[in-house]
């Protein structure tokens, strides 16, 4: 076993010698002006002024203590519903106002006291502490390199390549167990993103009245929000389901509808579109009844409900999905199936 077996790249690089001399100050072009002469503060000369400063600092710290006591007292004593009028803020919660003011004073007084203390009483004489080189002296470096070479040689790391390679393999594989554990962060989404509660024969329920709707209820220019029949607001998964199934219903004059499929999938100009923006899934229902445009408040994507909810502005990638609707034998609006494409934003496997 000799040190020649150790690959050179495992050793720390040999630093170039003789740098110390270059770092040392040479004849500088600009002479070091040194520190300005120290000027005393009033507190350094006048003991009465120093006493005043001491009292001011102590006063600030005392004020902080009092404010903290006030904070606790206010928290205990003030009713959470109490509203007071404070000029110029207006009608605000007495508790919030008290807690904010007292905590603000408590923190500010500590800071102000510390600054005043440091500026008036602590020593303000400037001192110079020369910086020493970060590099170790050459003999220490030499010894470390020698020790490293010796250790590498004694471990036979360079000579027994089988050990070296299997060790690298073992170290490389161990983190994989951690990667695999990430799988347990939650259940896979499955095909949940592709399906909503809408299905053939589901009645459209008006969210205002909780009643099914007849075509005559919906006038041209109106805007109505609907949920699938059977989904109650008290249901445990209501939010999860309405997040996908939310529907906006508008009625246009049939001759205003430019898209043939949109007209076919509606009922006498009543059309139902997903309320979920196809960009990042904001609820979108800023409907302009004269232009038939729907604007998303998050990123200004604009959809034309007269033309198959085509994107006419903004970052959304595709049109709002339309729900095929018709009228059942009792005269109520019903769905003719689920949305034919996933609602909401695009995802990797959407296709």
Partner 1 sequence: MKKLSVRRRHPLAALVVLLFALAATGGLYAAFAPAKTAQADSSSQSIAIEEGKKLYATGCSSCHGPGGQGSTDGPSLVGVGAAAVDFQVGTGRMPAQQPGAQVPKKQPIYTQAQIDQLAAYIASLGPGPGIPSKKQYDPKGGDIAAGGELFRTNCAQCHNFAGEGGALTDGKYAPSLRGVDPKHIYEAMLTGPQQMPTFPDTTMPEKAKRDIIAYVNDTTRADNPNPGGFSLGRLGPVTEGLFGWIFGLGALIATAVWVAARTAKARKS
Between residues 43 and 102, which has the closer beta carbon with respect to partner 1? 43
Size of the site for partner 1 (CB under 8 A): 50
Residue range at the interface with partner 1 (CB under 8 A); choices 18-26, 84-92, 177-185, 331-339 = 84-92
Report the nearest approach of partner 1 to the CB of residue 223 (Å). Answer: 3
Are 287 and 221 in contact by the 8 Å Cβ rule? The answer is no
Cis check: omega of the bond before 88, within 30 degrees of 0: yes
Burial profile 286-316: b = 16 or more Cβ within 10 angstroms, e = fewer:
ebeeeebbbbbeeeebbbbbbebbbbeeeeb
239 contributes a contact to partner 1 by CB under 8 A: no
- Under rule CB under 8 A, which residues in 124-183 are in contact with partner 1? 124
State both tokens at 168.
């690298």
- The CA–CA distances, whole Å, from 172 to 11, 164, 165 equal 22, 12, 11
Between residues 17 and 91, which has the closer beta carbon with respect to partner 1? 91
Residue range at the interface with partner 1 (CB under 8 A); choices 147-155, 163-171, 216-224, 262-270 = 216-224
State both tokens at 261.
């499929």
Between residues 251 and 324, which has the closer beta carbon with respect to partner 1? 251
Are 271 and 262 in contact by the 8 Å Cβ rule? The answer is yes
Report the nearest approach of partner 1 to the CB of residue 345 (Å). Answer: 18
Residues 6+ apart with CB under 8 A from 279: 296, 298, 299, 301, 314, 315, 316, 317, 345
Between residues 18 and 88, which has the closer beta carbon with respect to partner 1? 88
Report the nearest approach of partner 1 to the CB of residue 54 (Å). Answer: 14
Report the nearest approach of partner 1 to the CB of residue 175 (Å). Answer: 39
- What CA–CA distance (Å, rounded) separates 267 from 256? 14
- What CA–CA distance (Å, rounded) separates 194 from 344? 10
Report the nearest approach of partner 1 to the CB of residue 303 (Å). Answer: 11
Between residues 277 and 343, which has the closer beta carbon with respect to partner 1? 277
346 contributes a contact to partner 1 by CB under 8 A: no
- What CA–CA distance (Å, rounded) separates 22 from 35? 25
64 contributes a contact to partner 1 by CB under 8 A: no
Q: Which of 64, 102, 274, 302 binds partner 1 (CB under 8 A)?
A: 302
Burial profile 55-64: b = 16 or more Cβ within 10 angstroms, e = fewer:
ebbeebeebb
Q: Which of 58, 73, 83, 140 binds partner 1 (CB under 8 A)?
A: 83
- Under rule CB under 8 A, which residues in 7-46 are in contact with partner 1? 39-45
Burial profile 229-247: b = 16 or more Cβ within 10 angstroms, e = fewer:
beeeeeeeeeeebbbbbbb
Residue range at the interface with partner 1 (CB under 8 A); choices 15-23, 158-166, 168-176, 296-304 = 296-304
Are 201 and 350 in contact by the 8 Å Cβ rule? The answer is no
- What CA–CA distance (Å, rounded) separates 82 from 87? 16
Cα three-residue angle 197-326-202, rounded to 5 degrees: 25
Q: Which of 105, 106, 245, 250 binds partner 1 (CB under 8 A)?
A: 250
Cβ–Cβ contacts within 10 Å for residue 325, how many? 23
Between residues 158 and 283, which has the closer beta carbon with respect to partner 1? 283
* Binding map of partner 1 across residues 260-289, x = CB under 8 A, - = no contact: -----------------------xxxxxxx
Which residues sit at the interface with partner 1, rule CB under 8 A? Answer: 39-45, 83, 89-93, 96-97, 100, 115, 119-120, 124, 206-209, 213, 216-219, 221-225, 250, 283-291, 293, 295, 297, 300, 302, 313
């Amino acid at each position: 076993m000799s040190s020649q077996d150790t690959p050179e790249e495992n050793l720390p690089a040999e630093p170039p010698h003789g740098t110390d001399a270059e770092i040392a100050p040479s004849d500088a072009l600009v002479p070091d002006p040194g520190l300005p002469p120290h000027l005393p503060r009033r507190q350094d000369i006048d003991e009465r002024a120093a006493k005043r400063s001491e009292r001011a600092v102590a006063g600030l710290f005392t004020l902080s203590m009092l404010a903290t006591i006030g904070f606790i007292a206010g928290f205990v004593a003030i009713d959470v519903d109490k509203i007071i009028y404070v000029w110029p803020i207006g009608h605000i919660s007495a508790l919030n106002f008290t807690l904010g003011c007292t905590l603000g004073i408590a923190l500010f007084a500590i800071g102000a006291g510390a600054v005043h203390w440091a500026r008036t009483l602590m020593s303000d004489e400037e001192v110079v502490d020369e910086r020493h080189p970060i590099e170790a002296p050459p003999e220490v470096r030499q010894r470390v390199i020698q020790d490293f070479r010796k250790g590498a040689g004694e471990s036979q790391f360079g000579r027994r390549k089988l050990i070296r390679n299997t060790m690298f393999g073992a170290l490389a594989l161990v983190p994989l167990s951690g990667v695999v554990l990430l799988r347990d962060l939650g259940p896979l989404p499955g095909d949940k993103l592709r399906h909503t509660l809408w299905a053939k024969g589901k009645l459209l329920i008006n969210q205002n009245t909780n009643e099914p709707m007849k075509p005559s209820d919906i006038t041209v220019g109106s805007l109505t929000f609907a949920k699938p029949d059977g989904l109650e607001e008290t249901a445990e998964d209501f939010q999860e389901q309405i997040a996908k199934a939310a529907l906006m219903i508008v009625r246009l004059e049939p001759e205003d509808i430019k898209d043939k499929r949109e007209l076919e999938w509606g009922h006498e100009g009543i059309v139902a579109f997903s309320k979920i923006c196809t960009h990042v899934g904001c609820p979108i229902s800023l409907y302009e009844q004269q232009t038939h445009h729907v604007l998303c408040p998050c990123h200004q994507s604009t959809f034309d409900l007269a033309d198959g909810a085509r994107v006419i502005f903004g970052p959304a990638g595709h049109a709002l999905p339309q729900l095929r609707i018709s009228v059942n034998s009792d005269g109520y609006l019903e769905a003719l199936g689920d949305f034919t494409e996933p609602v909401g934003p695009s995802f990797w496997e959407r296709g």
